[in-house]
Structure 1
Amino acid sequence: MVMSDRPSTAPAAPPGPGAGGDVPTAGQVAARRWRSSRGVLFAVLALIVIALGIAALRPSGSGQDLDPESARPGGTRALAEILKQRGNPVQVSRRADDAAGRAGPGTVLVITRPERLTDRDIALLRGARGDLLLVEPSRDVLAGLAPGVERASSSYEPVSEPGCAVRGAEIAGRVEFGQSDTYQLTGGASGGIGCYRSEDDLHRLVQVPAAGRTITVLGSAAPLTNERLRDEGNAALGMNLAGARAATVWLIPDMPAPGSGSEEESLGDLLPFGVKLLILQLIIAVVLVALWRARRLGPVVAEALPVIVRSAETVEGRARLYRAHRARGSAAEALRTGTRERLVPLLGLPRSAAQDPAAAREIVAAVAQRSTYDEAMAGAALYGPEPGDDGQLVGLTDLLDDLERQVRAS
């Protein structure tokens, strides 16, 4: 950095109007703030758009979904009426204890809305007799009622072939699941059969024998709903699974009372997989942006400037900052400090005296002896109060210049 021979630590006098030192207007300040914050704003808007997109793609539901008494598109009244016409009436239950009491050796207990089941409900249903049909079960329900079956992932395929030996699936043939959970059989599922294989070799329908009964896990509720019952072999699959025995008990539990849910559920268990994936992507993006914007990972080192910055330009820029913030006190102190540092060598005093308050009286007396100003005026110039306005600051600048000129000339 190239500087002039004379060090300039004090700012020059504020430039007058038309000299390029005007205070920035409100519009200029707003434009500068917009340029500095637009990146963050665009990032926040992008996150909002992504969140809205995920919310729009997520299928909407209601409290009457999978209800055999509901004629809404998500209800299952049509399937219940078909079963009734075939001589297999559907008994609707709203409580797990009631459904467990109704289930018997010749019944199929259809369990829907598993997110409403508590640990106590799962324990009651584990002791129920008869076959089970679990529709989109949660991990807790799978662990408690379907040993050896684990949820693997989620998959979407418009139409799927059975490809298994489950008679109800073979008769139904092609079924339109849409978005569906997929499952895998572990060592605890002896004799289990998987149907409707996905592209990653997992199953949308799994049937396992356990404790003298058959447990069927269905990864999608779409084939059972009023809206999708007419598609492909959906109606046949629903009748073959729910009507596989002489009677059908359909459990659609009411919302549990507050505080009666599973105590082991954590926030991670409640978050959908898509939300977890979004959070992971955001963390990776933040880390990448931080690495991209990082200035230096090592210690600070001195580097030569690529251009020459003259001392006058540095002083003028600093003076403009003082003026923009109306920092007359800081500007006056910088002027006085620079003047004292240049005067003490001329007065034969050590350089440290310029910053030593104890040496103030000695400096003022020496300046008064070598100039036309008395000690009161010299003290006010070198250690006086903050100027009240810009005019006083300009006057202080002239006074300090004249004081230094006389000391140098003496």
Structure 2
Amino acid sequence: MTESLSSTLPAAGPGGPAAPGAPGGPDGDRPPPARLAYDRHTWKETAHLLANLPVALVGFVYVITVVTLGVGLTVTVVGLPLLAAGLLGARVLGRLERARARALLGVRVDEPSRLPRRGGGFLGRLWSALKDPVGWRTLLYGFVRLPWGVVTFVVTLVSLLVLWPVLPFIVRGLSHADRAMVRGLLCPSDELERRIAELESDRGVVVDTAAADLRRIERDLHDGAQARLVNLAMGLGLAKEKLLEGQADEQVAAMVEEAHGEVKLALQELRDLARGIHPAVLTDRGLDAALSSVASRCTVPVRVDVDLTERPAPAIEGIAYFTVSELLQNISKHSHARSAAVEVWRTDERLLIQVWDDGRGGARLDGGTGMKGLADRLGAVDGLFVVDSPEGGPTTVTAELPWRDRTELPAAP
């Protein structure tokens, strides 16, 4: 229990390493060894090599045009914008080449991240495009491909006509060189680019989650507390009219009593809503007290064990709280369990959470119980979310979050 999940589980996400043998992993795009047979891999590689010449010719012409016009006209106001536009177009060519290599050579490389959106208006976007390493590497790829395209076209064509018995070996060797060029020049430049792409995806998840939460809060306010407060105002207005008209005290007392009941219900709904946004007990007393409060409302007896000597950042505390809260709600609604347990502890710079129940099991990330949303929410902050729930139970859900100390955060204004 004291070992971090990150040391035992493969990293997930768009930029994470894939397991051996998985698509896109070290073995996932490795073609079968060459043999004296004309199988589909041989014909795909042959088609790729024969297409190298026309494709390389188009790319070479594009590179020469972009560089000649862009650099030659830098003394004018249109030179740098033309060069920037050419680099953006090179990204498109690179995407097409990656698709061709993926379809014919089985090479799977990550798509580079989009250009970052910078401030500064037109000049900021221009500078961002001009120093784009992806665009420059794609131009280099297009420049060196022409001589290589001539070689591969001629050798492959001659092999089809004269050396056909050993054609599989020839095209396999030439295709390996093509694979090396694609991986070396058309893949993301470094881990930073892959990380940027992953963060862009996570940002979309966070935005969607926040929008869904805002819609839920608006709906709860409109259908719950707001409706009750409107009824309360109408009831108090009628009571006031009756008092002014000198009506019987019994009628006024009944109306005031009914209004008092509506006030209590509205207050309870507002407390529940506030607890759903961020519970006061979490802010005041931390995860131990907050999770104990959540566990007390669960329909299943829950043992809570929080082993923390200090508190993480408020954002991490909030995610941990709502993760456990939703998991306990799932246990109450779906598990048919007789007991459950929540454990929270810290290992190095990670906060780990484990929620266990002895129910019927069968929980899945795509099972429609909110598990996928929890996994996305944790993934957006570099967290992990693992579900172990065989049919018949028990179910163990383990979550891991980055530990961010409260002292690392800027002081509130």
TM range (shorter): under 0.3
If the length of structure 2 is used for normalisation, what is the TM-score?
A: 0.19
* Structure with higher strand content: 1
* Structure with higher helix content: 2
Return the index of the structure with the highest Cα Rg: 1
